[in-house]
Protein backbone atom coordinates (compact mmCIF):
# COMPACT_ATOMS: atom_id res chain seq x y z
CA UNK A 1 0.00 0.00 0.00
CA UNK A 2 2.89 2.33 0.75
CA UNK A 3 4.42 1.45 -2.63
CA UNK A 4 1.26 2.45 -4.47
CA UNK A 5 1.12 5.74 -2.55
CA UNK A 6 4.74 6.49 -3.44
CA UNK A 7 4.05 5.73 -7.15
CA UNK A 8 1.05 8.04 -7.23
CA UNK A 9 3.07 10.78 -5.53
CA UNK A 10 5.89 10.38 -8.08
CA UNK A 11 3.52 10.29 -11.06
CA UNK A 12 1.90 13.56 -9.98
CA UNK A 13 5.24 15.24 -9.44
CA UNK A 14 7.08 17.23 -12.11
CA UNK A 15 9.69 14.53 -12.63
CA UNK A 16 7.00 11.89 -13.13
CA UNK A 17 5.12 13.99 -15.66
CA UNK A 18 8.30 14.61 -17.60
CA UNK A 19 9.23 10.91 -17.76
CA UNK A 20 5.73 9.83 -18.75
CA UNK A 21 5.36 12.48 -21.41
CA UNK A 22 8.83 12.03 -22.90
CA UNK A 23 9.30 8.24 -22.70
CA UNK A 24 6.23 6.18 -21.84
CA UNK A 25 3.69 7.80 -24.15
CA UNK A 26 5.91 7.68 -27.30
CA UNK A 27 6.74 4.04 -26.60
CA UNK A 28 3.09 3.11 -26.22
CA UNK A 29 2.25 5.02 -29.40
CA UNK A 30 4.91 3.17 -31.37
CA UNK A 31 3.69 -0.20 -30.08
CA UNK A 32 0.07 0.55 -30.89
CA UNK A 33 0.98 1.81 -34.38
CA UNK A 34 3.00 -1.34 -35.05
CA UNK A 35 0.12 -3.55 -33.99
CA UNK A 36 -2.31 -1.66 -36.18
CA UNK A 37 0.07 -1.79 -39.16
CA UNK A 38 0.55 -5.51 -38.67
CA UNK A 39 -3.19 -6.08 -38.60
CA UNK A 40 -3.65 -4.03 -41.76
CA UNK A 41 -0.87 -5.88 -43.58
CA UNK A 42 -2.19 -9.23 -42.45
CA UNK A 43 -5.68 -8.46 -43.69
CA UNK A 44 -4.32 -7.23 -47.01
CA UNK A 45 -2.12 -10.32 -47.47
CA UNK A 46 -5.02 -12.57 -46.52
CA UNK A 47 -7.24 -10.88 -49.06
CA UNK A 48 -4.60 -11.28 -51.77
CA UNK A 49 -4.06 -14.94 -50.95
CA UNK A 50 -7.78 -15.59 -50.87
CA UNK A 51 -8.15 -13.97 -54.25
CA UNK A 52 -5.38 -16.10 -55.71
CA UNK A 53 -6.85 -19.25 -54.21
CA UNK A 54 -10.25 -18.32 -55.56
CA UNK A 55 -8.80 -17.76 -59.01
CA UNK A 56 -6.95 -21.07 -58.93
CA UNK A 57 -10.02 -22.88 -57.68
CA UNK A 58 -12.20 -21.21 -60.30
CA UNK A 59 -9.76 -22.17 -63.07
CA UNK A 60 -9.63 -25.78 -61.89
CA UNK A 61 -13.42 -26.01 -61.59
CA UNK A 62 -13.85 -24.41 -65.01
CA UNK A 63 -11.47 -26.99 -66.47
CA UNK A 64 -13.50 -29.81 -64.89
CA UNK A 65 -16.76 -28.32 -66.16
CA UNK A 66 -15.30 -27.98 -69.66
CA UNK A 67 -14.17 -31.61 -69.54
CA UNK A 68 -17.68 -32.58 -68.45
CA UNK A 69 -19.13 -30.76 -71.45
CA UNK A 70 -16.81 -32.74 -73.73
CA UNK A 71 -17.70 -35.96 -71.91
CA UNK A 72 -21.39 -35.55 -72.85
CA UNK A 73 -20.42 -35.84 -76.55
CA UNK A 74 -17.55 -38.26 -76.01
CA UNK A 75 -18.81 -40.85 -78.53
CA UNK A 76 -18.82 -38.31 -81.38
CA UNK A 77 -15.27 -37.02 -80.78
CA UNK A 78 -12.29 -38.01 -82.88
CA UNK A 79 -9.26 -39.87 -81.61
CA UNK A 80 -7.02 -36.79 -81.42
CA UNK A 81 -9.69 -34.76 -79.66
CA UNK A 82 -10.30 -37.55 -77.14
CA UNK A 83 -6.61 -37.61 -76.30
CA UNK A 84 -6.63 -33.83 -75.87
CA UNK A 85 -9.66 -34.00 -73.56
CA UNK A 86 -8.03 -36.76 -71.49
CA UNK A 87 -4.93 -34.62 -71.02
CA UNK A 88 -7.09 -31.67 -69.92
CA UNK A 89 -8.98 -33.85 -67.45
CA UNK A 90 -5.73 -35.17 -65.95
CA UNK A 91 -4.34 -31.65 -65.59
CA UNK A 92 -7.56 -30.36 -64.00
CA UNK A 93 -7.64 -33.31 -61.58
CA UNK A 94 -4.09 -32.58 -60.39
CA UNK A 95 -4.83 -28.87 -60.00
CA UNK A 96 -7.92 -29.62 -57.90
CA UNK A 97 -6.01 -31.99 -55.63
CA UNK A 98 -3.31 -29.37 -55.04
CA UNK A 99 -5.79 -26.69 -53.95
CA UNK A 100 -5.51 -25.67 -50.25
CA UNK A 101 -9.22 -26.24 -49.68
CA UNK A 102 -11.35 -28.53 -47.60
CA UNK A 103 -12.35 -31.68 -49.47
CA UNK A 104 -10.14 -31.15 -52.54
CA UNK A 105 -9.29 -34.87 -52.86
CA UNK A 106 -12.92 -35.91 -52.37
CA UNK A 107 -14.03 -33.43 -55.03
CA UNK A 108 -11.44 -34.75 -57.50
CA UNK A 109 -12.50 -38.37 -56.93
CA UNK A 110 -16.18 -37.47 -57.28
CA UNK A 111 -15.53 -35.53 -60.51
CA UNK A 112 -13.53 -38.43 -62.02
CA UNK A 113 -16.38 -40.87 -61.31
CA UNK A 114 -18.98 -38.54 -62.82
CA UNK A 115 -16.87 -37.97 -65.94
CA UNK A 116 -16.58 -41.72 -66.53
CA UNK A 117 -20.34 -42.14 -66.17
CA UNK A 118 -21.03 -39.32 -68.63
CA UNK A 119 -18.64 -40.88 -71.15
CA UNK A 120 -20.51 -44.18 -70.92
CA UNK A 121 -23.92 -42.53 -71.31
CA UNK A 122 -22.84 -40.33 -74.22
CA UNK A 123 -23.21 -43.18 -76.75
CA UNK A 124 -26.96 -43.82 -76.40
CA UNK A 125 -28.45 -41.86 -73.51
CA UNK A 126 -27.85 -38.27 -74.62
CA UNK A 127 -30.55 -36.80 -72.36
CA UNK A 128 -29.24 -38.68 -69.35
CA UNK A 129 -25.71 -37.47 -70.07
CA UNK A 130 -26.96 -33.88 -70.32
CA UNK A 131 -28.83 -34.17 -67.02
CA UNK A 132 -25.77 -35.69 -65.36
CA UNK A 133 -23.69 -32.79 -66.64
CA UNK A 134 -26.10 -30.24 -65.10
CA UNK A 135 -25.90 -31.95 -61.69
CA UNK A 136 -22.15 -32.25 -62.04
CA UNK A 137 -21.77 -28.52 -62.75
CA UNK A 138 -24.06 -27.45 -59.88
CA UNK A 139 -22.26 -29.63 -57.35
CA UNK A 140 -18.86 -28.24 -58.32
CA UNK A 141 -20.10 -24.65 -58.08
CA UNK A 142 -21.62 -25.43 -54.68
CA UNK A 143 -18.29 -26.81 -53.53
CA UNK A 144 -16.63 -23.53 -54.53
CA UNK A 145 -19.11 -21.52 -52.46
CA UNK A 146 -19.57 -23.91 -49.51
CA UNK A 147 -16.63 -26.29 -49.38
CA UNK A 148 -17.41 -27.87 -45.99
CA UNK A 149 -20.98 -28.82 -46.86
CA UNK A 150 -20.02 -30.02 -50.33
CA UNK A 151 -17.23 -32.15 -48.86
CA UNK A 152 -19.73 -34.12 -46.79
CA UNK A 153 -21.91 -34.73 -49.85
CA UNK A 154 -18.91 -35.86 -51.87
CA UNK A 155 -17.85 -38.27 -49.13
CA UNK A 156 -21.38 -39.72 -48.93
CA UNK A 157 -21.56 -40.30 -52.70
CA UNK A 158 -18.13 -41.90 -52.79
CA UNK A 159 -19.02 -44.27 -49.96
CA UNK A 160 -22.23 -45.29 -51.74
CA UNK A 161 -20.43 -45.94 -55.04
CA UNK A 162 -17.73 -47.90 -53.25
CA UNK A 163 -20.35 -50.12 -51.64
CA UNK A 164 -22.08 -50.75 -54.99
CA UNK A 165 -18.76 -51.55 -56.66
CA UNK A 166 -17.77 -53.96 -53.90
CA UNK A 167 -21.15 -55.71 -54.15
CA UNK A 168 -20.86 -56.06 -57.94
CA UNK A 169 -17.30 -57.37 -57.68
CA UNK A 170 -18.33 -59.83 -55.01
CA UNK A 171 -21.17 -61.11 -57.20
CA UNK A 172 -18.83 -61.60 -60.14
CA UNK A 173 -16.35 -63.48 -57.97
CA UNK A 174 -19.11 -65.76 -56.66
CA UNK A 175 -20.29 -66.52 -60.20
CA UNK A 176 -16.75 -67.38 -61.25
CA UNK A 177 -16.34 -69.69 -58.27
CA UNK A 178 -19.66 -71.45 -59.02
CA UNK A 179 -18.68 -71.93 -62.65
CA UNK A 180 -15.30 -73.33 -61.65
CA UNK A 181 -16.95 -75.69 -59.13
CA UNK A 182 -19.43 -77.00 -61.71
CA UNK A 183 -16.74 -77.63 -64.32
CA UNK A 184 -13.90 -78.95 -62.19
CA UNK A 185 -15.40 -82.50 -61.85
CA UNK A 186 -16.51 -82.80 -65.48
CA UNK A 187 -14.01 -84.97 -67.40
CA UNK A 188 -12.73 -83.38 -70.49
CA UNK A 189 -13.58 -85.46 -73.53
CA UNK A 190 -10.47 -86.35 -75.40
CA UNK A 191 -10.61 -85.73 -79.07
CA UNK A 192 -10.49 -88.99 -81.03
CA UNK A 193 -7.84 -89.10 -83.70
CA UNK A 194 -9.39 -88.65 -87.09
CA UNK A 195 -8.11 -90.99 -89.75
CA UNK A 196 -7.69 -89.27 -93.01
CA UNK A 197 -9.04 -91.30 -95.92
CA UNK A 198 -6.44 -91.47 -98.59
CA UNK A 199 -7.19 -92.73 -102.06
CA UNK A 200 -4.82 -95.39 -103.45
CA UNK A 201 -2.41 -94.04 -105.96
CA UNK A 202 -1.99 -96.16 -109.06
CA UNK A 203 1.27 -96.16 -110.90
CA UNK A 204 1.10 -94.57 -114.33
CA UNK A 205 0.97 -97.06 -117.17
CA UNK A 206 3.56 -96.12 -119.74
CA UNK A 207 3.51 -97.56 -123.25
CA UNK A 208 6.75 -98.92 -124.71
CA UNK A 209 8.39 -96.41 -126.96
CA UNK A 210 11.02 -97.06 -129.63
CA UNK A 211 14.45 -95.61 -129.37
CA UNK A 212 13.77 -93.07 -132.09
CA UNK A 213 10.54 -91.68 -130.53
CA UNK A 214 10.83 -89.09 -127.72
CA UNK A 215 9.43 -90.03 -124.32
CA UNK A 216 6.41 -87.90 -123.38
CA UNK A 217 6.40 -86.29 -119.92
CA UNK A 218 3.76 -87.69 -117.58
CA UNK A 219 1.28 -85.47 -115.75
CA UNK A 220 1.81 -84.74 -112.01
CA UNK A 221 0.30 -87.39 -109.71
CA UNK A 222 -2.38 -86.31 -107.25
CA UNK A 223 -3.83 -88.27 -104.33
CA UNK A 224 -7.45 -87.83 -105.34
CA UNK A 225 -7.53 -88.95 -109.01
CA UNK A 226 -5.74 -91.85 -110.77
CA UNK A 227 -3.12 -90.95 -113.29
CA UNK A 228 -3.53 -92.10 -116.90
CA UNK A 229 -0.52 -92.03 -119.17
CA UNK A 230 -1.00 -89.85 -122.24
CA UNK A 231 -1.19 -91.64 -125.56
CA UNK A 232 1.96 -91.33 -127.62
CA UNK A 233 2.34 -92.21 -131.27
CA UNK A 234 5.35 -94.11 -132.48
CA UNK A 235 7.02 -93.67 -135.83
CA UNK A 236 5.33 -95.93 -138.43
CA UNK A 237 7.18 -96.21 -141.76
CA UNK A 238 5.03 -96.34 -144.91
CA UNK A 239 4.81 -99.52 -147.03
CA UNK A 240 7.34 -100.00 -149.77
CA UNK A 241 6.22 -99.01 -153.30
CA UNK A 242 5.82 -101.62 -156.05
CA UNK A 243 8.45 -100.12 -158.39
CA UNK A 244 11.75 -99.47 -156.65
CA UNK A 245 13.37 -96.31 -157.77
CA UNK A 246 15.57 -93.63 -156.49
CA UNK A 247 12.77 -91.11 -155.98
CA UNK A 248 12.34 -89.86 -152.49
CA UNK A 249 9.19 -90.92 -150.65
CA UNK A 250 7.51 -88.41 -148.34
CA UNK A 251 7.32 -89.75 -144.79
CA UNK A 252 4.86 -88.26 -142.28
CA UNK A 253 5.44 -88.65 -138.56
CA UNK A 254 2.55 -87.85 -136.24
CA UNK A 255 3.28 -86.63 -132.77
CA UNK A 256 1.44 -84.98 -129.95
CA UNK A 257 2.88 -81.62 -130.85
CA UNK A 258 2.12 -81.65 -134.62
CA UNK A 259 2.87 -83.38 -137.97
CA UNK A 260 6.33 -83.58 -139.52
CA UNK A 261 6.33 -83.88 -143.35
CA UNK A 262 9.29 -84.62 -145.59
CA UNK A 263 8.84 -83.09 -149.04
CA UNK A 264 10.48 -84.02 -152.33
CA UNK A 265 13.42 -81.69 -151.76
CA UNK A 266 14.48 -83.64 -148.68
CA UNK A 267 13.62 -80.97 -146.04
CA UNK A 268 11.36 -81.77 -143.08
CA UNK A 269 8.59 -79.40 -142.09
CA UNK A 270 6.13 -79.52 -139.08
CA UNK A 271 2.50 -78.68 -139.67
CA UNK A 272 0.95 -77.52 -136.37
CA UNK A 273 -2.62 -76.63 -135.64
CA UNK A 274 -1.48 -73.16 -134.73
CA UNK A 275 -0.31 -71.29 -137.86
CA UNK A 276 1.44 -68.56 -135.88
CA UNK A 277 4.73 -70.38 -135.31
CA UNK A 278 6.92 -67.31 -135.63
CA UNK A 279 10.36 -67.52 -137.14
CA UNK A 280 11.26 -70.91 -135.62
CA UNK A 281 12.90 -73.26 -138.22
CA UNK A 282 12.01 -77.00 -137.97
CA UNK A 283 14.68 -79.66 -137.82
CA UNK A 284 15.63 -81.40 -141.12
CA UNK A 285 15.89 -85.13 -141.97
CA UNK A 286 17.96 -86.90 -144.69
CA UNK A 287 16.00 -88.12 -147.78
CA UNK A 288 14.74 -91.73 -147.55
CA UNK A 289 14.77 -93.90 -150.67
CA UNK A 290 12.56 -96.88 -151.46
CA UNK A 291 15.48 -99.28 -151.23
CA UNK A 292 16.39 -98.08 -147.81
CA UNK A 293 12.85 -98.57 -146.59
CA UNK A 294 12.68 -102.08 -148.09
CA UNK A 295 16.02 -102.94 -146.47
CA UNK A 296 14.74 -101.77 -143.07
CA UNK A 297 11.56 -103.88 -143.38
CA UNK A 298 12.99 -107.11 -144.82
CA UNK A 299 16.76 -107.12 -144.49
CA UNK A 300 17.13 -110.80 -145.65
CA UNK A 301 15.32 -110.30 -148.96
CA UNK A 302 17.30 -107.19 -149.74
CA UNK A 303 20.58 -109.09 -149.25
CA UNK A 304 19.50 -111.88 -151.63
CA UNK A 305 18.49 -109.41 -154.30
CA UNK A 306 21.85 -107.69 -154.09
CA UNK A 307 23.58 -111.01 -154.57
More confident of the two residues 117 and 281: 117
Count, in order, helices (H) and strands (E) of the chain. 9, 3
Instruction: Please check the confidence at residue 79 and state whether its pLDDT lies above 60.
Output: yes
As beta bridge partners, residue 259 has 254, 271
Total-model pTM: 0.45
Q: Computed from CA positions of residues 203, 207, 212, 217, in that sequence, does the dihedral angle turn out positive or negative? A: negative
Instruction: Please check the confidence at residue 254 and state whether its pLDDT lies above 60.
Output: no
More confident of the two residues 141 and 246: 141
Instruction: Please check the confidence at residue 281 and state whether its pLDDT lies above 60.
Output: no
Q: How confident is the model over 71-81, as a mean pLDDT?
A: 85
Q: Computed from CA positions of residues 62, 64, 67, 72, in that sequence, does the dihedral angle turn out positive or negative? A: negative
In this predicted structure, what is the pLDDT of residue 227? 45
Instruction: Please check the confidence at residue 243 and state whether its pLDDT lies above 60.
Output: no
- 24-45 pLDDT, tens per residue? 888 999 999 999 999 999 999 9
In this predicted structure, what is the pLDDT of residue 12? 81
In this predicted structure, what is the pLDDT of residue 305? 56
Amino acid sequence: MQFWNDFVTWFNSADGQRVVGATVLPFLGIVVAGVIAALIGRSFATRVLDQQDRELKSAAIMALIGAGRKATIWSSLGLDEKQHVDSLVSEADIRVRLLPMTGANAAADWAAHELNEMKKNSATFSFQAEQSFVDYRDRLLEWQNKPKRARKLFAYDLAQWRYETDAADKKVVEEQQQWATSHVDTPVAKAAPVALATAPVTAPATAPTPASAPVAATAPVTASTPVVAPATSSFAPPPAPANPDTASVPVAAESTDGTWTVDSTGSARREDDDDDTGDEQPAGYAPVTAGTVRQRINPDNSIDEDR
